[in-house]
Amino acid sequence: MKLIILIAAIIFLGFLSPIDVGAQKGSKTYTVPDEFSFQYPSNWKLQEKENRFTTIDASLKYGNNVVQMVFEGGNISDIGNPTDDEILNLLKAQIEKKDDGKVFESGMDKNAINNRTTPYVIGTYTIKPVFGGPFQMVVLATAVHVNDNELVLARYIAEQNDFDKYLPKVKQVIKSISPLGNNTQETS
């Protein structure tokens, strides 16, 4: 009888404790000086990329690099002031030039962030390490306008089996990209 009560108490306490401790930790905000900010889960690791070898502003990683996000902001005139259709075609071309790169889905009509369309592409490609077998990767690449002159390219990369698992959280991070001094304005 004592064993049954003990098992019942363990099960009851199991329902009271959170399934994912990280879910209760909330979020943090990262600001790229003079450019943009975004919110991310506080249990994800942020790495600022401030060096002369890259144009990447920040990267996020979760777990053992299961989730990887990269943020690269800049002035849209630096890439020739392309239209959203041209940006969409550039994103598609980046995926298609990868090893076994294929565009799975693309468009501009799913979300609007900061009252602007957000071209996006979801595609697959293969990574072939020196040792071991190939990895089948999925990438979501999107271009978020933070104002008329600034654009943030955000990329989310995961193995095929993990991509959909983290996609809802990644979409929240992307939707939080906003110009400094403004609240994110989004529509679906």
Instruction: List the CATH code of the domain at 24-187.
Output: 3.40.1000.10
Whole-prediction pTM value? Answer: 0.77
Query: Does 148 or 18 have the greater pLDDT score?
Result: 148
**Domain boundary assignment for the chain:** 24-187
Share of the chain above pLDDT 90, in %: 46
Instruction: Give the separation between CA 151 and CA 154, rounded to whole angstroms.
Output: 10
**Residue 188 exposed, middle or buried by CB count within 10 Å (0-12, 13-18, 19+):** exposed
pLDDT in tens, 31-40: 988 889 999 9
Instruction: Give the separation between CA 123 and CA 103, rounded to whole angstroms.
Output: 4
Token digits for 100? 């076994």
pLDDT in tens, 38-64: 999 999 999 887 666 777 888 899 877
